[in-house]
Structure 1
Amino acid sequence: MDPDLTIVLLGRTGVGKSASANTILGRAAFESKTSFKAVTTGISEETGRVFGKLIRVVDTPGVLGWERQLRKLCGDVLRSSTPHLFLLVLSVGRFTVDQEEALRAAVNAVGPRGLEKSFLLLTGGDLLKDRPLEDFVREGGDGSFSEIVGQFEEAYHLFNNKDGGREQVRELLLKAGHLHTGKSCGAELRMVLVGRTGVGKSAAGNTILGRRVFRSAAASASITSVCQKETSLFAGQTLTVVDTPPLFDTCRSQEESEKEIAKCVSLAAPGPHVILVVIWVGRFTEEDKETLRIIQQMFGEEVAGYTMVLFTGGDHLEADGVTIEDIITKYPALHDFIRQCGRRYHVFKNRSRDPAQVRELLKKINTMVQRNRGRCYSTEMFRAAERRLLERESLEMVVLALRREAETENQSQCVLH
């Protein structure tokens, strides 16, 4: 019988790969002990039923010295039709040169495609005691550690292989989108579309809903002037899409546009599951760059966990022989924004009527929702972001007033002398 999921563990010798594999399966399937020498001397696998899923777990030897074999293993897993998850294992503690070298080797083994299906698995959860994992990740080392962990964004998890119980396994599978809570099946999925004039927001909304409900036309002037909410059904799931007026609208001030866009959160009450930042693939302009900054400013830092970039005009990529990765790499501001949003993006061919592109987008969004444990970007988060923005603006005004006062005083003293 084919497994429902394949999990591959990669990492340096002694970080707890075999112990983690046993934790996942709930039994001592692999030999595991604390040792500086390798216990696992070859690639081995075991299968077991975990929370109703048949899971194949692949344990591997220390990655250093096995790079070629592990690259082939990961390539075979990626080419298979079975859902898969790569766990790059790192033990809690001091981040040494050896650990960095091994982790980089593991990242290279899975490759760019595999990294999208990867989680950083930190072992030794018992050593953290009551310290939050996020604090350890944020404060846990030098630039090398931060750089590598940054590639995973929120895709990391902590195991206590001594006495952590089964809930930590359930949580990992939920985060990775390989276990469903039961609540998400058929539940409403709320999304908000934001972007500048002319990027195809309304057309993207029509593509998602499968019918023409938002006014859309190829034009430099905007058609959408107020937030509009529409609902449809796709594969048994209720989709609610809120289209917003564009930023940099020639027919209204920027302040008016931002004030109208702010209504989208309450219109999607209790809050959107995802904010889709729509960008046209043809050209990443200064207005697009400023749009990304405004979104981060308006919605606050927390919005990154609920954001995905939706590229429109995918038809042009094929015609020009360019990949979306080429576009992302070309523009540092865009690359950095996507990295902050957990490397989440999707490409639409708005002229295509193939529902597969919508199905794939919804799969990505539902995976994100599961990682967020069903939570949405709430009105409370938005109000908190508004308060912080007002406080920052008030502080800047005070600083500016003090600076002007000091300059006036200096000028007065210069006149006296």
Structure 2
Amino acid sequence: MHGGSRGCCRKTSHCWWMNYFSQDSPVFHRQEIVCSVSLCFPGPHTLLLMVRVDRSFTETYRRAVQEHLELITDTVWAHIIVLFNFGDWLGDTTIEQHIESEGEALQWLVEKCGNRYHVLNNRSNSGFQVTELMRKIEELMSCNSSCYCKIEGGILQEKRREEQKRAGERLTRRQKQRETDRSLLGELYCPSELRIMLLSGRNTGRSSAGNTILGREHFKVGCHATDCVEGQGKVRGETVTVLDPPGWLSVGPGSLMSPSASGVTVVLVVVNVSSSFSHTVWRTAEKHLEALGEKVWNITMVLFPFGDWLGDTTLEQRIESEGEPLQRLVEKCGNRYHVLDSKNQGTGAQVTDLLQKIEEMLVEERLEVLQRRE
């Protein structure tokens, strides 16, 4: 969504998954949609709603658009122009023919926006199409008597500042915890073989995370397997085995047993940073993890794939903004967490850091075992 005015142009942008309803989007992104509008002080005159013409516009997409836009204000529709990009895909078809042929969902959207729309040909360098767009923006401003889309963002901005403060405190606490653990590395037990079990529901990026850890395409992304898939490789010269079970219910206490006395299995709970983390998801995770034994939390860490979705947001900000369910999971795991950019599997530093955190977690677990024996 873009905001602009006569004589100058200030822009902010935000997006959501086309098939996500508002409740499926992370709380942080819902807040960003509202905050992005307030960045164009005192408010944007126009919002450009991007719609790709090379993709079918379904009822799911229509509802997702409506729910996300109305987070801003109920009157937002009076300031929107539908901007169809990838216009070259239309060929000889006019945009009007495309709208009519696409069906009720897209027709509803165009009508809701006062029948205001424009097409951009992404392969064309012609300035005329941009000039025409600016003319339509000025016409909309004239119809609205140059009034802008106004929201009250003060309360939300204050909440965001509080979340940033808590995020900084969480990061500081985590850094101190890691420093203590690193000081004990080498003095306590270190496994010769590491087995990493990835646990989550569906569509969390679990298989993609497994591929990133192994540094190769071993697990099939997007396929719903019925059996546990196992992959093994050398990471930093160590033997690492990644277990990708089909879901929570397929894992029992015996799954934590290692093939040798010198090996150890750790659990990574996979949480998709581009999706909301609800109370229902938290209760499911808690129920199935505790079925593995009360000590399972000592060897469990939260893993966030799709880290590229965060943009300039820190992982700590994401945790704080999402609310109690995600915070409870992270705290239950001893404030241990890691983020992976699944699009950069060749970046070994993020995997090296993950294994370092796992070693530190095992130091904590081993220390607790020794203290219990004493």
TM-score by length of 2: 0.47
Higher relative contact order (CA 8 A, sep 6+): 2
Question: Which is strand-richer, 1 or 2?
Answer: 1
